[in-house]
Amino acid sequence: MQSSQGYENLSADIGSKLLKQGNITTFTASWKIAQIRKSCGFRWLAMHESQRWTAASPARGMTWEVYRMRLMRTTGRHRQKKELAMNDPHVVALIYRVEQEDIPSVDYSNAEPLVGWEESKFGLEVQDNKARFEFKVHYATEGEAQETVEDYIRVWEFDANLERGGPAFRLKFDRAEIVDRNPTPGQIRMRGIGNTEVGGSSRLTYVASRYPSPPSDVSLNSDVQTMYQRYMDYRQGHEKLTGMANFCLDFLCKLVAPQYSTKINNGRRSEAANVFQIEKSVLDRIGDLCANKGGPTGARKGNAVATNLTESECRFLEKAVKKMIRRAAEKAHNPNVPLPVISLSDLPQI
């Protein structure tokens, strides 16, 4: 087993590799390393997997989410080897824990159960801070089953956190329910494999009455994740509102109108408004606030130093950015579906 110092060196090495990918901040890298520490119960296994990931990521373009899920699956596979071999293993269900230790601002302890949720490959129910994915199709290994729900969970977390306006919902793998459909007489017929931990926090500030529902109308791609990460960095106090909002506006416009110069905002915004079905007046309002207000600590330009954003303007920018990000996710899910136009009447009045 690695020494404590050796594990710290490992964490620093992984953080360095994450930063070299060039699409996350130092804060985000530090947060992700904390998740590695919580997700992996075997330090020697973390070292082994980090070496494999370090060697594979440049050639295979392995993202953080893929790495995180692979690390967790590998931990599960290691534990499976300790169990008696099964003749015909079948994954009945995967159990995930609604994480409370990492998100101390929300308490789901008394939330109304989410039951009867059916997807093509599994049924879902959430109660008592546990999400149970019961499969309708056959999977022989825990890893195969997890691959089926990975993207689903990521989109679910994205939608819940965006709606809440900050970290509010995260699932962490707890265990798998696996049966042997052709057991050898006298051997174990069913087993549970997992990484159960108990944690808590005394800093809970919001008691949720229900669990967030999984969305069916959004998908994640690298563009959506880029804007979402900038928004989450702002919500966690690591970026100014005007800088984050202006970045998301500019990024959204460039997705559909890269041919326009950054100085020709009218054409770029018109294209973006048409593609994403957002009134151009909404995009113009965001641009004007970001360019002309901000005060001494939040101004992007010299002429905005003397004018702070009002409370209502801050609410407007926050809500407008959330609307933009979710609309980008809706278009990533189905670029041709008609959507209701986002207008100024859908946002807080200034």
* Full DSSP string of 323-347: HHHHHHHHHHH-TTS--PPB-GGGS
Question: Could you say which residues of the chain have pLDDT below 70?
Answer: 1-84, 100-104, 186-205, 258-265
> Which pLDDT value is given to residue 17?
53
Here the contacts of 147-153 (C-beta below 8 Å, separation 24 or greater) are 147/69, 147/73, 148/121, 148/122, 149/94, 149/122, 150/65, 150/69, 151/220, 152/119, 152/214, 153/96
> Which pLDDT value is given to residue 83?
44
CA-based end-to-end distance of the chain = 58
> Which pLDDT value is given to residue 188?
53
> Which pLDDT value is given to residue 44?
36
Q: Is 289 within 8 Å of 296 (Cβ atoms)? A: no
> Which pLDDT value is given to residue 81?
46
> Which pLDDT value is given to residue 99?
87
Beta strands in 181-302 (DSSP E): 190-194, 206-207
> Which pLDDT value is given to residue 59?
41
pTM of the model: 0.72
Domain boundaries, the chain: 1-82, 83-214, 222-346
> Which pLDDT value is given to residue 273?
96
> Which pLDDT value is given to residue 125?
97
> Which pLDDT value is given to residue 310?
95
Q: What is the Cα 189 distance to its own chain's centre?
A: 36
Paired residues of 133 in beta bridges: 94, 124
